[in-house]
Amino acid sequence: MSTVRGVEARGTQHCETTALGVLLRHQGIDLSEPMLFGLGSGLSFIYWDSKNMDFPFLGGRVKPFELTRNLAATLGLELLVRETTSPRKAWADAAAGIDAGHPVGLQLDSYHLDYFTSKVHFGGHVVALYGYDDENAHLVDTDQQGGAVSTSLTSLAEARAARGPMAAKHRSFTLTAAQDPPSPRSRIVPAVTACADAFLEPPIANLGHRGIEKAGKLIGTWLRRTDDPQRDLPLAARLMEQAGTGGALFRNLYRDFLAECDALLDSEHLRTGHRLYAEAATGWTEAAELITKAGTSGDEQHLLQAGALLHELARVEREAMEALRRLRR
């Protein structure tokens, strides 16, 4: 049995920022969840569809673990990542961190966790491990999943060994702060402009503002894309609003990040970005409502409205990011 002392489970919304908050507070760095998300340049967009998918997916953040890598680089943190194909070595790596007195981040498939309320495979889920005994592992997860929770060692091993989209090979990680770390305030501009650059200049049309435009064009076909629209469309909307996104496909988190930045830096560009992302957040929640209505009613008109709204959101977010990119000047 081993437990890291002083670990706090806060009411947070997104899995990766939840785990990062636990690891950083243990290092004496206490930042809000929106600040963690923003300094990690976490906002993005992807329209993901392929022949082997049952239904299209709308994503609102960078790929799993990229946020962690971004945040470590931004704040000058030492990020130690371990991956292995051996379940035995994977557990030894994680347990060694706990025995040494610090929490450990784990990437795994949430489907296998005993406490998880939604039995859907997601290999990009991240938790903070802070203790274990002979039977159970003690974790910090999102507020929605219970905060400080426990799962059997067997279920944890299954979750870490799972393979599939976004999964990693028993990935565990720790973060260590430098002796003289940069102030978060000093890192706002590089984090914001890096996020804006990626959003405005995506390498493919499925990403960034181009991805939102593409989604707006294709969403009108969604009733014909599924044999069970009453299931698939409301599920897509719930994923946008409730699947650890903080609401509005992560736009609420980014809006709140920009509000915090605006209180720290005097910048008209920041104020513009914040105003536009407040508008975008409202729009994404409205889009989710329209998608739900389309699924429950079978009326394609709701999807056509959603498509027009996404076209407008692509413009709003492009203008927001163009303003935020000017911060580097």
Confidence of residue 58 (pLDDT cuts 50, 70, 90): very high
Model pTM above 0.85: yes
Q: pLDDT value at position 53? A: 79
Residue 293 CA to residue 297 CA, distance in Å, equals 6
Tell me: pLDDT of 113 over 90.
Answer: yes
Q: How far apart are CA 143 and CA 160, in angstroms?
A: 21
What's the pLDDT tens digit per position in 132-149?
Answer: 999 999 999 999 999 999
Query: How many angstroms separate the CA atoms of 241 and 247, rounded?
Result: 4
Instruction: Judge contact between 71 and 124, C-beta under 8 A.
Output: no
Sketch the domain layout of the chain as residue ranges: 2-30+78-176, 184-328
Nearest to 55 by CA among 216, 235, 209: 235
At 150, which helix (H) or strand (E)? strand 148-152
β-strand partners of 136: 152
The answer to whether 24 and 119 are in contact (CB under 8 A) is no
Q: What is the CATH number of domain 2-30+78-176?
A: 3.90.70
Distance between CA atoms of residues 27 and 105, nearest Å:
14
Res 329: pLDDT: 64
92: pLDDT strictly greater than 80: yes
**pLDDT > 90? residue 251:** yes
Question: Does residue 179 surpass a pLDDT of 70?
Answer: yes
Q: What is the pLDDT of residues 305-323, one digit of tens each?
A: 999 999 999 999 999 999 9
pLDDT digits (tens, 9 = 90+) for 188-243: 999 999 999 999 999 999 999 999 999 999 999 999 999 999 999 999 999 999 99
Whether the pLDDT of residue 27 is over 70: the answer is: yes
SS3 9: coil
Residue type present at position 53: M
Class of residue 177 by CB neighbours under 10 A (exposed 0-12, middle 13-18, buried 19+): middle
φ, ψ for residue 85, nearest 5 deg = -90, -5
User: Strands 43-48, 104-108: parallel, antiparallel or unpaired by DSSP?
Assistant: unpaired
CA distances from 3 to 90, 99, 138 (A): 18, 8, 8
- Give the DSSP letter of residue 101: T
d(CA 140, CA 126): 10
Burial class (CB in 10 A: 0-12, 13-18, 19+), 290: buried
